[in-house]
Structure 1
Amino acid sequence: MKAMILAAGKGERLRPLTLHTPKPLVRAGGVPLIEYHLRALKRAGFTDVVINHAWLGQQIEDYLGDGQRLGLNIAYSPEGEPLETGGGIFRALPLLGDEPFLVVNGDIWTDCDFAPLRAPIKGLAHLVLVDNPLHHPTGDFALVGGEVRDDASLSRLTYSGIAVLHPQLFAGCSAGAFKLAPLLRDAMGKGQVTGEHFTGRWVDVGTHERLAEVEQILAVKP
């Protein structure tokens, strides 16, 4: 199974850190955020990783190179302008192949073990959901018996930014900028999305306050 890290965001809420540094290279505990993902992917048995980028993306390529330093093979999917989550993944599909692949948002920090996600999926997507953080109290989707549903009448969890996706999820899509969520909701309506509830450490590193939260976790992490 291949993996893709979404690294094309501009990180405007992390300015001035991101004025001259792409968000995935912002450091926590002295290590770029994206490197935590790459190390975790290596531990989980992944060898081939695709990274998309836009804002200051050449810095990401210059820092990571071909991935050999980390024991990985890294390919890049540069975007002249951000294509949003769905469009970015769609553009990278030729690098990802015909089988399901893992996708991870580059602007989260987590101690999630990616190894179990290498298992075959049923349907078009398998989402990792987490408890609703304070900044997103209403959540995104409901998890019922292992199936993910878009039902506001049910208790909802938050999409972690970690998923296994089948390329067929993007059937009928065209090149350009578009979001991933509508594709997922359509697949949910057809009963084609499974999920799991992750209760470990997870932070959406979108602000200075949440970056500081990661720093605090790392300071006490054994």
Structure 2
Amino acid sequence: MKAMLLAAGRGERMRPLTDTCPKPLLKVRGRPLIVWHILNLVKAGITEIVINHAHLGHMIVDTLGDGSQFGAKISYSAEETALETAGGIAKALPLLGSDPFIVVSADIYIPHFDFKECLNTLEDNDPWGNPLPEQERDIAWLYMVKNPGFHPTGDFALTLMGLSNEGSPRHTFANIGVYRPEMFSSIRPGDHAKLAPLMREFIDVGRIGGELYRGEWHNLGTPEQLNALNAPLNFVKG
């Protein structure tokens, strides 16, 4: 299985730090955000990684190189301007191949996530081992977290049948998911496209499952949040 790290965003709310440094290279507890993901992916045996970039992308390439310093093999998908999440994934599909792949936002901090859990989330067979028709297979599997203070209403509801656009309790998408490449087949490479509308479309037809992740998770949006996480007490705990 391959993984894609989304690193093309401008990080407007993190300015002025992101005026001179791409957000994924900002350090948390002594290590760049994106490096936390790379090390955890490699630990899970996932070594083929694709990274998209736009704003100050050369700094990401210069810092990470070909990935050999981490035991990984990194490929890059350069975007002249950020194509939004779904657009960036669609452009990178030739690098990701025909099998399901993991996608993670490079600017979240989730230090203890075990990516081994992603390996068998999208099954081709039913519980009795019978092949599922293609239109009945989950096309994506999303990891959710309890709603943070900045997003109290959540994104989707978790049900026994998968994710739902309606109902409660609602949870927040953790910006970690496993996707089949055909989910993005309607997007032309180079087009701008958001991920949320695509998710809702496939949730409506019952093709996206998910689960709740209860470990440490931070979506860092402002310098104040970054400073709080790097405060001496938190640093020791990390």
Same fold (TM over 0.5): yes
Structure 2 equivalent of residue 200 of structure 1:
215
Q: Within 2, Cα distance between the matches of 1:142 and 1:24?
A: 29
Q: Within 2, Cα distance between the matches of 1:219 and 1:104?
A: 23
CA contact (8 A) 1:44 1:113 kept: yes
Match of 2:52, SS state, is: strand
Change (3 A) 1:120 1:28: closer
Structure 1 equivalent of residue 198 of structure 2:
183
Deviation at 1:34, TM superposition (A): 0.4
Matched, 1:209 2:228: no
Structure 2 equivalent of residue 124 of structure 1:
139
Structure 2 equivalent of residue 82 of structure 1:
82
Q: Within 2, Cα distance between the matches of 1:185 and 1:141?
A: 9
Superimposed CA distance per residue, residues 1-25 of structure 1 (whole angstroms, 9 cap, x where no aligned partner): 0000000011111111111111111
Percent of aligned pairs with the same amino acid: 46
Structure 1 equivalent of residue 171 of structure 2:
157
CA contact (8 A) 1:107 1:204 kept: yes
Deviation at 1:181, TM superposition (A): 1.0
- RMSD (Å) for aligned C-alpha atoms: 1.3
Question: Would you identify which runs of 4 or more consecutive aligned residues in structure 1 move more than 6 Å?
Answer: none
Superimposed CA distance per residue, residues 97-138 of structure 1 (whole angstroms, 9 cap, x where no aligned partner): 001000000110002111111114141000000000000000
Matched, 1:219 2:235: yes
CA contact (8 A) 2:121 2:178 kept: no
Matches within 5 A, 1:124-143: 124-143=139-158
| Structure 2, unaligned runs of 5 or more | 124-137
Moved more, 56-65 or 137-146: 137-146
Structure 2 equivalent of residue 58 of structure 1:
58
Moved more, 66-75 or 153-162: 153-162
Moved more, 156-165 or 20-29: 20-29
Moved more, 108-117 or 125-134: 108-117
Structure 2 equivalent of residue 173 of structure 1:
187
Structure 2 equivalent of residue 106 of structure 1:
106
Matches within 5 A, 1:41-52: 41-52=41-52
Number of equivalences = 221
Q: Within 2, Cα distance between the matches of 1:177 and 1:164?
A: 21
Match of 1:18, SS state, is: helix
CA contact (8 A) 1:109 1:214 kept: no
Change (3 A) 1:206 1:76: same
Match of 2:230, SS state, is: helix
Match of 2:93, SS state, is: helix
Superimposed CA distance per residue, residues 33-55 of structure 1 (whole angstroms, 9 cap, x where no aligned partner): 10001011011110100000000
TM-score by length of 2: 0.90
CA contact (8 A) 1:146 1:196 kept: no
Amino acid at match of 1:82: A
Deviation at 1:212, TM superposition (A): 2.5
CA contact (8 A) 1:102 1:164 kept: yes
Deviation at 1:170, TM superposition (A): 1.1
Q: Within 2, Cα distance between the matches of 1:19 and 1:78?
A: 19
